[in-house]
Amino acid sequence: MTDGKIRPADLRAMKARGEKIPSLTAYDYAMTRLLDECGVPLLLVGDSVGMVVLGYPDTTHVTMAEMEHHVRAAARAKPRALLAADLPYHAYETAADALANARRLSAAGAEAVKAEGGREILGQVSAIVSAGIPFIGHLGMLPQHVLEEGGYHIKGRKEDERNALLADAKALSDAGACAIVLELVTPPVAKEISASIPIPTIGIGSGVDCDGQILVTHDLLGLFPWFTPKFVKQQLNSAEQMRVMVTTWKAGLQGQTTPR
Ligand code: KIV
């Protein structure tokens, strides 16, 4: 295609050319448009929206209605980037649920959907892919399972974890996934997975050898100053800049008086 629109095949071609795939989260019209103008090829309406925008303690509280609302807002920016969206917790328990909810996100404007898990969700992945909806996998630390797992733990340190990750990545790729997010996977295992499958891996806290990197935009830009994951190299301190600007503006107003 020559319209400049990024499609799943373009991400795969980037991997084949050895070109890194930058990816960021976007939850609304303005951020989607701005990041798209920066040429980021893959934008994700992640369920991290629940934490950095909606104020939930983790992503398990995010609903389909909330995801649809944010996907609609992001899609109004009509990005050139591929616009993906997360299926939230409990939205893909069965293949039928997964397909119905993937269709809802597509109707809201998502061009791909992402869900967490490997071989245990293959039925759901097949239902989504067979319906022609591009699917992105998510392996390693699975934020929707943070409560069962008792925290955000690095994956791939033990041999059985490494083997399971490799098998899950192959199974997702064979099932037709167009990319896989690897979250908090040990860098050597992330590298091994990336070399073993034809589809791109998009790492987050998983080392430099993934085919792409994704970050929560709020972490990159310092928009959520109360918590920043250890692996993030913040590029801007937006919260601090905002505090200075607003305090200066407020002081300027307070220095003025309204004639009575
Ligand atoms: O919800 C999200 O933002 C994500 C990315 C961090 C990978 O899943």
Neighbours of 43 (CB within 10 A): 28
- Closest C-alpha to ligand 1, atom 5: 46
Q: What is the pLDDT of residue 113?
A: 99
The pLDDT of residue 193 is above 70: yes
Q: What is the pLDDT of residue 260?
A: 84
CA of 221 to the centre of ligand 1 (A): 15
Query: First vs last Cα of the chain: how many Å apart?
Result: 65
Name residue 109's amino acid: G
- Closest C-alpha to ligand 1, atom 2: 46
Per-residue pLDDT tens digits for 69-100: 999 999 999 999 999 999 999 999 999 999 99
Measured distance CA(158)–CA(30) in Å, rounded: 42
pLDDT-derived band at 180, boundaries 50, 70, 90: very high
Neighbours of 101 (CB within 10 A): 23
DSSP three-state, residue 131: coil
**Tokens linked to 202:** 């998009």
- Closest C-alpha to ligand 1, atom 3: 46
Q: What residues contact 8, with CB distance under 8 A and at least 6 apart?
A: 82, 112, 134, 178, 179
Asked whether 46 lines ligand 1 (CB < 6 A), one says: yes
Average pLDDT on 234-257 reads: 96
Measured distance CA(167)–CA(160) in Å, rounded: 11
Which one-letter DSSP state was computed for residue 222? Answer: T
Whether the CB-CB separation of 75 and 81 falls below 8 Å is answered with no
Q: Which of 84, 135, 78, 131 is nearest to 111 (CA)?
A: 84
Asked whether 201 lines ligand 1 (CB < 6 A), one says: no
CA of 19 to the centre of ligand 1 (A): 21
Counting atoms of ligand 1 from 1, which one is nearest the CA of 215?
Answer: 6
In the chain the beta strands, taken as DSSP E runs, fall at: 21-25, 42-45, 82-86, 112-114, 135-140, 179-183, 201-204, 212-215
Q: What is the pLDDT of residue 2?
A: 59
Active site residue 19: no
Measured distance CA(65)–CA(71) in Å, rounded: 10
Alpha helices in 18-110, H assignment, sequence order: 29-37, 49-52, 64-75, 95-108
CA of 84 to the centre of ligand 1 (A): 10
Average pLDDT on 117-145 reads: 98
Q: What is the pLDDT of residue 3?
A: 85
Q: What is the pLDDT of residue 259?
A: 86
**Angle between helices 29-37 and 64-75 in degrees, nearest 10:** 50
The pLDDT of residue 1 is above 70: no
Greater pLDDT, 96 or 2: 96
b or e along 125-142 (b: 16 or more beta carbons within 10 Å of the residue's beta carbon)? bbbbbeeebbbbbbbbbb
Measured distance CA(152)–CA(140) in Å, rounded: 10
Of 66, 68, 116, 183, which one is the catalytic site residue?
183
Q: What percent of the chain has pLDDT over 70?
A: 99
Per-residue pLDDT tens digits for 21-40: 999 999 999 999 999 999 99
Measured distance CA(70)–CA(135) in Å, rounded: 19
CA of 15 to the centre of ligand 1 (A): 20
- pTM reported for the whole predicted model: 0.97
Asked whether 144 lines ligand 1 (CB < 6 A), one says: no
Whether the CB-CB separation of 107 and 113 falls below 8 Å is answered with no
